[in-house]
Chain A
Amino acid sequence: MNPKKRIRSLGLVLGGLLLGAALALGLLGGRPSVEEEHFLSRGLDYVAAFAAAAQGWIEEEDLGTLEDAARFMLLGSAAFVEVVWNGETVVREARGELSPPPLRELPPETRTSFHSEDHARFLEVVYPLERGYVRAWLEVPTPGGVPWWLPTAVGLLSALGLGAIGGALYLGYRRSSPGKRGPLVEVGSLTIDEESKEVRLCGKPVKLSPKQYALLLLLAREPGKVFSDRDILRELWPDSRYANSKDVKQYIYLLRRRLGEVLPGAEALIATVPGFGYKLLSPEEIGLTER
């Protein structure tokens, strides 16, 4: 494969991989991890179990036991437990300085949400009772949280991926547009550098006179298109009143011979279309390969 094509392909593949990695990381970080989902599910059941017992204690007017049970929860993951009944707070126990603001309204149904406070992540479960609610904050184990480096990594990978793809596309635009005027015209492994006026065939340099160069460039800008003698005359000798078809034939002959000297068989790159004119074929079309 042409080294330039190889670089281009590599750039596209690398860019795609980087963007894919960024997307995967973003998806992983953007939603609760498996551990966090598991914690949410169990945390909800845990608070529900406590709520069922709490309702029983409240109905039995055994608030001492309810307070003991709430305090006991603080020895584990629970950082805050609140029980509200008939609009009154009957239990409010919290770890350390934690003091979540009161709820503005009674929850119509079970509600869960994640909060971050003091470098810790909490799952809040609000569980409705018959005439109140139980609210608990459970500290999420550290591995379940979003790591600090994740947003940076996603941003960096995205930038690198976009850069690689952009670079590859730019290279492709510059180097593989044979029909357009630009610094480099490429027809398969035949390349013409318009800035340095260098021509290479399958990697080998081709020395051409200015007219031979101009003729090849004309044909190479629209490979496969048939150019008549008149077309060629108009482009190569625009101001000459004396140039004619014989000049065209001669330069076609000279160009073919020069190409053939560089690479045997390369004469066939310029094909004659009887009755119409000439066209340029790519080296690959006539079976020329890099040697």
Chain B
Amino acid sequence: MEAMRRVSVILAAFSVLSLAGVAQPTEPPVPQLEVEVISVVRELQAAMFYAALAVYAPTPADQRLYCQQVVNLIEGEGGEHFVAEGLRRTPGMLNRLAAIHRAVPPDLPPMKRRAVVLVLNNVRTFLELALEESLASLRKEDVEAGAVHMRKAFAFLFAAWGVEVETPYLGGMWLLLKHLGYQRPMPPGRGHP
């Protein structure tokens, strides 16, 4: 049960895990900005799942499979390191963040807008660092060496997700949801609270 406990600690941060998907259409139609934000949240959760399994992958082939999914989710189709294997189509989290940045409502109060931009910059930087570590892991032949990089990738993805106790100026997606007034996405079976 030791392994279970260890893994549970790692995965506790994202108790609601879901693989990449698109937010379900609701009535009235969800604004495009919210769709993109929710998609980033879901893809980030999926990326953390893949990163965790890459850390514990039993063989280099398994590890590469999971690392590649993290890279795909961050870069998206058309990305330099994207390899179409086992994943649904996605523009990638970095492209989604750029789209969110462009779509930030102009009527947001200046301080709020500044906070949102700062959070977006943080998330982008953490995702770029996670991408760097995932690519470094892909270059390793040994699973233990690859796992070291994937642990770092997981840490950066977790930072991009953010936690409730963070300070406003080093935020992740959780804070972005709060700033934009969106609810954290729940799995399809539960729906939004």
| B49 on interface, CB distance cutoff 8 Å | yes
Are A49 and B15 in contact (CB-based, < 8 A)?
no
Give the residues from 10 to 63 in chain B that come closer than 8 angstroms, CB to CB, to chain A.
Answer: 10-11, 15-19, 49, 52-53, 55-59, 61-62
Q: When the two chains form the complex, which single residue of A42, A52, A72, A123 contacts B7, counting CB atoms closer than 8 Å?
A: A52
A sample of 29 cross-chain residue pairs with beta-carbon separation below 8 angstroms, ordered by A number, consists of A39-B59, A46-B57, A48-B3, A48-B4, A48-B56, A49-B56, A51-B7, A52-B8, A56-B11, A56-B16, A60-B15, A60-B186, A61-B187, A61-B190, A62-B16, A62-B187, A63-B189, A65-B18, A65-B187, A68-B19, A72-B86, A75-B65, A75-B85, A77-B59, A109-B1, A110-B3, A110-B4, A138-B58, A141-B59
Are B61 and A57 in contact (CB-based, < 8 A)?
no
State the Cβ distance, A131 to closest chain B Cβ, in Å.
14
| B188 on interface, CB distance cutoff 8 Å | yes
Q: When the two chains form the complex, which single residue of B19, B57, B66, B86 contacts A65, counting CB atoms closer than 8 Å?
A: B19
| B143 on interface, CB distance cutoff 8 Å | yes
List 7 A-B pairs, minimum CB-CB distance, nearest first. A61-B189, A62-B187, A76-B62, A45-B56, A48-B3, A42-B58, A43-B58
Nearest A residue to B21 via CB reads: A65
Interface of B toward A, CB cutoff 8 Å: 1, 3-4, 6-8, 10-11, 15-19, 49, 52-53, 55-59, 61-62, 65-66, 69, 85-86, 143, 186-190
State the Cβ distance, A153 to closest chain B Cβ, in Å.
27
State the Cβ distance, A144 to closest chain B Cβ, in Å.
10
| A62 CA / B189 CA spacing, docked (Å) | 6
Nearest B residue to A64 via CB reads: B188
State the Cβ distance, A59 to closest chain B Cβ, in Å.
8
Give the residues from 58 to 105 in chain A that come closer than 8 angstroms, CB to CB, to chain B.
Answer: 60-65, 68-69, 72, 75-77
Are B187 and A60 in contact (CB-based, < 8 A)?
yes
Are A60 and B189 in contact (CB-based, < 8 A)?
yes
Are B49 and A69 in contact (CB-based, < 8 A)?
yes
Q: Which B residues touch A123, using CB under 8 A? A: 58
